[in-house]
Structure 1
Amino acid sequence: MLGNASLLLAVLIGLSIPIAAALMMAALTLGYAYSPLPLYYAASEILWKVSNEFTLTSVPLFVLLGEILLRAGVAERMYGAVALWLNRLPGGLLHANIGASALFSATSGSSVATAATIGTVALPEILKRGYNERLFLGSLAAGGTLGILIPPSIHLIIYGMITNTSIPKLYLAGMVPGLVLALLFSLIVVIVCAIRPGYDGKPVTATWRQRFASLIDLVPVLLLFLVVVGSIYAGIATPTEAASLGLVFAVVLAWWNGRLSMALLHDAFLGAMKATAMIMLIVLASYFLNFVLSAIGLSQQLTGFVTGLGLSPAATMLVIIGFFVLLGCFLETLSMLVTMTPLVVPIVVSLGYDPLWFGIVMILLLEVALITPPVGINLYVVQAIRKQGSIQDVMAGSLVFVLSMFALIGLLLAFPEIALWLPAQVRS
């Protein structure tokens, strides 16, 4: 049954059927084939119940927030300021790509929005300053992945909702690993540029006076982070309410920069509606598929298969990690998150691991999926902005950054406190 379900889903996705439709078709087919009961009768109740989850309301709000920031001129000024401060490091603007992505991730909650926004600002600098194109493109695709790890992350919200894990604690757990991963990305850049000196381009020149003057351009992003994340930990707002506060602040920023207009709002709402429709369809279809898998006993079969291997908890975790890496090559990250979380988390908890810790490990595995071919969505986002050349360049430049993600996963396995220390301090 497990093999048939996996094969069916792989065939549907291989036929280029939209992910949400493939998940729903798989659910209906498996229910018809393996259940004596008409499971499709439960679809309306499940879809209605999930779509009424208050926590999910934060998803379109964060998406709209990112769309407004994309058009408000905040990213250009932020990128310019980061470039002035990081220009002296080996690799120059490659570090600015990563640093700006980390900062924007703290406001957007989306890897696609982060990669698209920073990519739009940074790509003109490749030819202007003579950077190695592949490494430059890879730094943008990899930097964009930080959007689902550094809070406020949409993926962490969905993981918390599925597993009944505290979203504020998940946000705290993601902060240190997010910063460590950004530093590891920069370390990769330094190492590559040391081995291949011609890969770093002409640096941005700036005086210390210019650098300090540019700090004003970082203030809006930091204030927005405090409004969204700070309001959660101050007990002022829930994640959904914090998203609405951040959205209002983003509109104020657009007005402050002289960009607020009906055209901007029209484009932002249109972009947010398209993205939200895609996300919600995937979430709803995945929830129904999870119901069918549980009803036909496949969830229990998977648990029995893994526990029946007789491996130690550490070895079992390595098997799970390898499975996610392989799955991430063929499945979109959001559908993978919603589909696999209910199946895998009970196994992980039974091994004695903290679901809070595993949430961060799982997000890192999803980040790997974002930049590994053939389905890595950030690769296609960067290539779409680039509008020339082959996507093979983006793929080749991104793969070196996967090493950083595996390194951080290894550190989390050896030292879980990297993710758990900050939530423990707040809890106490």
Structure 2
Amino acid sequence: MIVYVSVGLLALLSLSIPVGIVLFLLGIGIDTFFSPFPLIRGLGNLVWSSSNSATLIAIPFFVLLGEILVRSGVAARTYSALDRWVSWLPGGLVHANIATATMFSATSGSSVATAATVATVAMPQAERLGYDPKLFSGAIAAGGTLGIMIPPSINLIVYGFLTQSSIPQLFLAGLIPGIALALCFGLITVLICLVRPELGGDRRFFPFAVMLRALLDLIPILLLFAMIIGTIYNGWATPTEAAAVGVAGALAIAAAFGGVSLKMLEQSLLGTIKITSMIMLVVIGASFLNFTLASAGLGNELRQFLEGLGLSPLSFILVVVLIYVVLGFFIETLSLMVVTIPIIVPLVVEMGYDPIWFGILMIVLIEMALITPPVGLNLYVVQGARKDGTMAEVMLGALPYVLVMLVMAMALIAFPQIALFLPGAL
């Protein structure tokens, strides 16, 4: 059955069938060939139960928040302001890509939305200033991955929903690793550009007065982040309610900058509907697939296989890391999460690991999948924003940042307190 699921998944994805539909087709196939009971009869009830959750309402709110910031021009102002502060480093404007992605991640909750935002704003600058297309576009793709690590994160909400873990604790756990990854992205960029200065373009210096004025454009994003996270950790709002508060705050900021219009609202709502529909189709399809897998006994098969290996907890977690790295080459990230969590997480917890910690480790591995071919979504998003060049350039440019993520994954395994310090302290 494991072979059927693996081959079937890759074969259907290679036909460019939408991921959500692929998951339903696999579930129906398992029901037909491996289950003694007609599981398809429970599909209606399963669709309702898997989508009828107040926690999942946070997803369209966070997507809408990001759409408003992009389409109102707030994201472009943020990029321009950070350009004034970080472009003096070796690598120049590449650091503005990473810094903007970091700040936007603190409000959008989506890696794809973050990468699309920064790519749309930054790519014209790269072409105008003559930056190396590989490093410049690779940094955008990598910076975009921070959208699912730095809170609020849609993927962390899905993980908390599927594992019944505390979403506020997951948000706290992702903060230090997310910021550390952003700093490491900047560090590897500096090292690359010290060795190969021609890759980074010209370093740009601005008068201190100009830098101070640029801070005014950063204040709205910082206030929005404080509003969302503050209402959660002060106990004033659930993550879902905080997302709604964030949407109201984003509208207020857009209005203050004169970016609110009927067309902007229409585009933001339409974009939200498209992205949310895609996410929910994947979540519901994966729920049906997991239901059929469990009913057909695949979970027990995998459990027996892993337990039969007789691995120590450390060896086990390294095998899990390897599984996610390999699967990340071929499976879309959200699908990878919702398909594997019901099988892997119980085994991880049995081995004595904290589910909050493992959630952050999984997100790092999922981030790697976003920028590794052939299915890395951020690679396609960034390539789509370019006027010319090849996909291979984006892939090569993202490679150093993949190595940084792998180092971060190993650091989380060696020092779990990187993720668990803030949840334990607060």
Corresponding residue pairs, total: 426
Instruction: Give me the whole-angstrom Cα distance separating, in 2, the residues matched to 1:368 and 1:228.
Output: 27
SS in structure 2 opposite 1:123? helix
Q: Deviations over 1:311-348 (max 9, x none)?
A: 21111111111111110111100111111111110111
Report 1:124-163 matches (<5 A): 124-163=124-163
The Cα of 1:130 is off from its aligned counterpart by: 2.3
Greater Cα shift, 119-128 or 62-71: 119-128
Q: Hey, what does 1:354 align to over in structure 2? A: 354
RMSD: 0.9
Alpha-carbon distance in structure 1 between the residues aligned to 2:371 and 2:221: 26
Q: State how far apart, in whole Å, the 2-side matches of 1:157 and 1:81 are.
A: 30
Question: What is the letter of the counterpart of residue 178 of structure 1?
Answer: G
Asked if 1 retains the 8 angstrom alpha-carbon contact of 2:91 and 2:202, the reply is: no
Give the Å deviation of 1:199: 1.1
| C-alpha separation in 1, matches of 2:304 and 2:63 | 39
Contact 1:139-1:398 within 8 A present in 2 as well: yes
Rounded Cα–Cα distance in structure 1 between residues aligned with 2:319 and 2:14 = 24
The DSSP-based 3-state class of the residue aligned with 1:124 is helix
Question: 1:219 corresponds to which residue?
Answer: 219
Counterpart in 1 of 2:322? Answer: 322
Distance across 2 between alignment mates of 1:148 and 1:198: 32
> 52-61 or 123-132: which moved more?
123-132
User: Residue deviations 1:180-207, cap 9 Å, x none?
Assistant: 0001111110111111111121223311
- SS state at 1:121 partner: helix
Distance 1:127 1:311 in 2: 51
Deviates more, 1:409-418 or 1:198-207: 198-207
* Contact residue 170 and residue 359 of structure 1 kept, 8 A: yes
Matches within 5 A, 1:114-263: 114-263=114-263
The 3-state SS of whatever aligns with 1:374 is coil
Answer yes or no: is the 8 Å Cα contact 1:134–1:393 preserved in 2: yes
* 4+ long deviations beyond 6 Å: none
Structure-1 residue corresponding to 2:310: 310
Structure 2 match to 1:389: 389
Instruction: Tell me, yes or no, if structure 1 residue 368 matches structure 2 residue 360.
Output: no
CA distance in 2, matches of 1:255, 1:149: 28
Contact 1:72 1:253 in 2 (8 A): no
Q: Judge which range, 359-368 or 198-207, deviates more.
A: 198-207
Partner of 1:299: 299
Q: Distance in 1 between matches of 2:7 and 2:253?
A: 48
Q: State the alpha-carbon separation in 2 of the partners of residues 364 and 422 from structure 1.
A: 18
Answer yes or no: is 1:27 the counterpart of 2:14: no
Q: Indicate the residue corresponding to 1:379 in structure 2.
A: 379
Identity among equivalent positions (%) equals 50
Shift of 1:83: 1.2
Q: Deviations over 1:386-420 (max 9, x none)?
A: 13221111111011110110111111011000000
Q: Could you tell me which amino acid in structure 1 is paired with residue 71 of structure 2?
A: R
Return the alpha-carbon distance in structure 2 between the equivalents of residues 250 and 400 of structure 1. Answer: 34
Instruction: Identify the residue that residue 268 of structure 1 maps to in structure 2.
Output: 268
Inter-partner Cα distance in structure 2 for 1:100 and 1:18: 30
Contact 2:69 2:254 in 1 (8 A): yes
**For residues 425 and 228 of structure 1, what CA distance do their matches in structure 2 show?**
20
TM-score, length-scaled by structure 2: 0.99
1:129–1:203: 8 Å Cα contact kept in structure 2?
A: no
Query: CA–CA distance in 1 between the matches of 2:259 and 2:347?
Result: 50
Structure 1 unaligned regions, length at least 5: none
- Superposed CA deviations along residues 88-109 of structure 1, whole A, max 9, x for unmatched, are 2111111111111000000000
What TM-score comes out, normalization by structure 1 length? Answer: 0.98
One-letter code aligned to 2:254: A
Partner of 2:5: 5
Aligned to 1:289: 289
Retained in 2: the 8 A contact 1:31–1:38?
yes
Deviation of the 1:10 alpha carbon: 1.7
The 3-state SS of whatever aligns with 1:150 is coil
C-alpha separation in 2, matches of 1:131 and 1:11: 38
Aligned ranges for residues 385-424 of structure 1 at < 5 Å? 385-424=385-424
Amino acid aligned to 1:403? L
The corresponding residue for 1:95 is: 95
Contact 1:130 1:200 in 2 (8 A): no
* SS of structure 2 residue aligned to 1:331: coil
**Residue number in structure 2 paired with 1:68:** 68
2:70/2:76 contact within 8 Å kept: no
1:114 partner amino acid: T
CA displacement 1:289-318 (0-9 Å, x = unmatched) = 111111111011111111111121111111
Question: Deviation per CA, 1:159-189, whole angstroms, max 9, x where unpaired?
Answer: 0000010000000000000000001111110
